[in-house]
Structure 1
């Protein structure tokens, strides 16, 4: 029905209906509105004077009055906010409530019917690189929506799973949707490439590049070589294992032994990868040299200066530090906490397979070592190390080596190393000095890693992964995993499962702590979302 009236006192309700017109009166004050397909809606607060043929006698609850709790206002972030914040805020809105994209006139270089398939293809290719690089499903979805939205496609719905990306675009409610998908077949960790893709998404959402320029930049990102070659990665793996052995009490000789074992395991993994074998066998093969070196040190340690007895445990522990899939575990927990349960389940299953491969490789060598007379004692703790400054340096070296293995940019290495040093300092103070619970200390340290990593990523407008993933390296439960496997090997099943349960608890504490730190950082920053509801007018509240 159509009509007009003043804002206060008695007025005439205003609205629209399909195929019918009528007039009604309304009483009350304050502006208001409501629409309903096929029925009438009122302006102001009140009720219709009488029924009209073909229309309901009165509007339903919630349409004629402002609700007592008010009308929620969704406030989008400013244009200078990080693109992740802007896109998360928009993608969480229903498709009918999303604001119309603001596309510069220069973007209208071709007809929308021609550009839509290319925009969707570009969106899928960018999402593929992000997901293959280890980015969380929520950030991949936000990036895909941001690219499509920047090129004028508002009615898009991205879908992200562990191995399949999809996107659907519907031009209008009366037209059929256009759907495209892409399978993620190859995965590789290259955080330099990940940073370049983040920069490209930022440029696209800021309307700085055309569609053709975006394709050219994406092709250049794909062609770029890794910043570190395979031998540099092998050296980093050795450095990581040696520093990790020092972290748990190993001396210089043990440092060299752990480094050599890790480098040999890394080359074995490269050989199997070149033959096309799955990662399960690569991890099993890479775990064997470290366990074998530990058996050799224990069996013949009296011939090696400074390598006596207890330090054989440090060799195997250092090798496990280089293999435990902490990155995949953090991503699995993050996807689960953000509601992507299918992707989280797939990532968690991947972690389980990789850990089982490590368990098989280490256990086979330990069985062989015990049968050859190696005296590996599961009750033997790692030597108490009362040199916190040496451990701090070792933790920072572990973080640096992890960053190189993850192909981080050189400019990121100092910041990631510093973050790892802070994490170990917090852990050492809470657990080793204050005598606190190890799981709680690990969670607190991981929380600071996530907090500082998120702040650094916001400051540099990049991904949070290069600052977080290497920094959790010193916190990984390498020693608990080793002692659990050793106890099972020597038929101390209860003790072994206790140690493995402790390792799982530590790993989960790392993952949850990192995610909690990220969320705390987002809370501290101005984040878009629903503001407190706008209160109803006083004379209409409750009526």
Structure 2
């Protein structure tokens, strides 16, 4: 090696590194051009990446005090929705909308059975903030739910401070029920009257059913006042209905089936079948199992009450005979007059149920029409030879679809319409027959057949409503062209998280950096564009940025 070769090698190494860097840049440019060529050759919408593992986008200049007040507001909202029987996914979506309106983009909402949890993730400057609240009180007040729907619409429309929202929640949760207690009892009596008409009872049966339901309601209020568990309240209510039916059978010769079935439907109406099925469909299995388990447990209380009443009749020497074909579980009217009475009875039951649940008057009319229409469809399908489970499920699908349309037009929350419309179709008749055949006649085969029929009908009702909402979900605002046609302008109120869910975003992102007194104001939310153009443009821009960065 000649002297000076080492320095020459060093001088040669410098341009070699430059050449390697240039080659790397050329390869990056080729990669960017290749990605652009692939996107041009394969047009269409790209699905976004899954959010698992992504860094959460947090908003700066949001203090701990503001965060705690917003979280407290969201968990109060979730508590009202859960106590009204709303689905877990609906509660989570609505609470996240409210948190987003107050610039908490990293808010986590979850529900475990009767426990609600809201949390703001930690940042570099502050720890995580978490609030947990247990929902033990059941208070079905549909007026409160409708008022909450309007409050959420105001918040997500922008311009509502956190203090104003808390004041509105105070007024909403502290004001008494819309109707006096005696009117709610009259509502339950009217509900029972409608169910008795639906089941083809005589005028005396209808009157006795109404009076019995009023007695059951007042007895339940008394037991609830002294802290009696719900299981024993259902046992007592079912026993009262059975004993009244036995007395009517003994002294007036009335068939006890319609009377007991009416009481069963009344007691079953308080169970959250729709919310449980929605939780199962939307993937919230823990809450779904808890709700279904509760429904089965309380239904077993009804069975215990019926058995107790029948055993009392047996000990008294009263022998009851049911002249009913056990294989005929689906009984429908076939005369114009009886069909009209059944449809009117279903409408009366649906309307009176909303009165008993303290719904606004506008919702009462809508629920009555929806219940009557569902019963008419059920009778039409039964007349055409469709089986009970399929006919009931089809009618429930129609109810879910109509409830979605009504909520889209902001006439009433979907939960109110759906619940009131399907309750007249609950299988009270099959439940009573199953208990009678199993506990009194000892006919295991017929009793099991009736029990399976009742279970299938109940599941068809809950899943049918959810399927109807799924079918109607493209009609929601900005979920499709039809949704833009049907929907009233403005962000939604209480969300229904079944089917095609519209994602919301701040209408003016620059407001997220607001300071001072404007920080506590909610920002307006608007639906995220769903045509895929934004996604394609963002990917195109990302490719361009990659190309520019490589140069």
**Which SS does the other structure have where 2:361 is aligned?**
coil
Shift of 1:208: 3.0
State the match for 2:197 in structure 1.
246
**Which SS does the other structure have where 1:158 is aligned?**
strand
Contact 1:397 1:417 in 2 (8 A): yes
Contact 1:446 1:514 in 2 (8 A): yes
The alignment status of 1:354 with 2:298, answered yes or no, reads: yes
Are residues 404 and 262 of structure 1, via their aligned partners in 2, closer, same or farther at CA, if it must alter by over 3 Å? same
Contact 2:352 2:364 in 1 (8 A): no
Deviations 1:305-349 (CA, angstroms, capped at 9, x unpaired) = xxx35x321111111121114651111111110011111111111
State the match for 1:275 in structure 2.
226
The alignment status of 1:499 with 2:450, answered yes or no, reads: yes
Shift of 1:366: 1.1
Aligned-partner Cα distance in 1 for 2:348–2:167: 37
**Which SS does the other structure have where 1:179 is aligned?**
strand
Deviations 1:10-54 (CA, angstroms, capped at 9, x unpaired) = xxxxxxxxxxx9552336989xxxxxxxxxxx74438xxxxxxxx
Shift of 1:176: 3.9
**Which SS does the other structure have where 2:176 is aligned?**
coil
Q: Which runs of 5+ in 2 are unaligned?
A: 1-19, 480-501, 504-529, 544-551
Deviations 1:67-113 (CA, angstroms, capped at 9, x unpaired) = 997785569xxxxxxxxxxxxxx9x9568587888x9xxxx9xx633
Contact 1:317 1:479 in 2 (8 A): yes
Aligned-partner Cα distance in 1 for 2:32–2:150: 47
Aligned-partner Cα distance in 2 for 1:221–1:384: 43
State the match for 2:260 in structure 1.
316
* Correspondent of 2:149 among 175, 178, 198: 198
Are residues 123 and 67 of structure 1, via their aligned partners in 2, closer, same or farther at CA, if it must alter by over 3 Å? farther
CA RMSD of aligned residues (A): 3.2
Structure with greater contact order relative to length (CA < 8 Å, sep ≥ 6): 2
The alignment status of 1:25 with 2:14, answered yes or no, reads: no
Give the TM-score normalised by the residue count of structure 2: 0.77
The alignment status of 1:127 with 2:78, answered yes or no, reads: yes
State the match for 2:279 in structure 1.
335
How many correspondences in the alignment?
A: 461
* Correspondent of 2:400 among 414, 427, 450: 450
* Correspondent of 2:34 among 40, 45, 49: 45
Shift of 1:120: 1.1
* Correspondent of 2:68 among 113, 117, 130: 117
Aligned-partner Cα distance in 2 for 1:173–1:453: 45
State the match for 1:215 in structure 2.
166
Shift of 1:145: 0.8
Where does 1:5-404 land on structure 2 (aligned, <5 Å)? 23=22, 24-26=24-26, 43-45=32-34, 73=46, 96=54, 112-170=63-121, 172=123, 176-301=127-252, 308-309=253-254, 311-325=255-269, 327-380=271-324, 385=333, 386=335, 387-404=338-355
Deviations 1:424-463 (CA, angstroms, capped at 9, x unpaired) = 01000011x2121011110011111110011101101752
Are residues 195 and 211 of structure 1, via their aligned partners in 2, closer, same or farther at CA, if it must alter by over 3 Å? same
**Which SS does the other structure have where 1:135 is aligned?**
coil
Shift of 1:171: 5.2
The alignment status of 1:477 with 2:441, answered yes or no, reads: no
Aligned-partner Cα distance in 2 for 1:405–1:157: 35
State the match for 1:488 in structure 2.
438
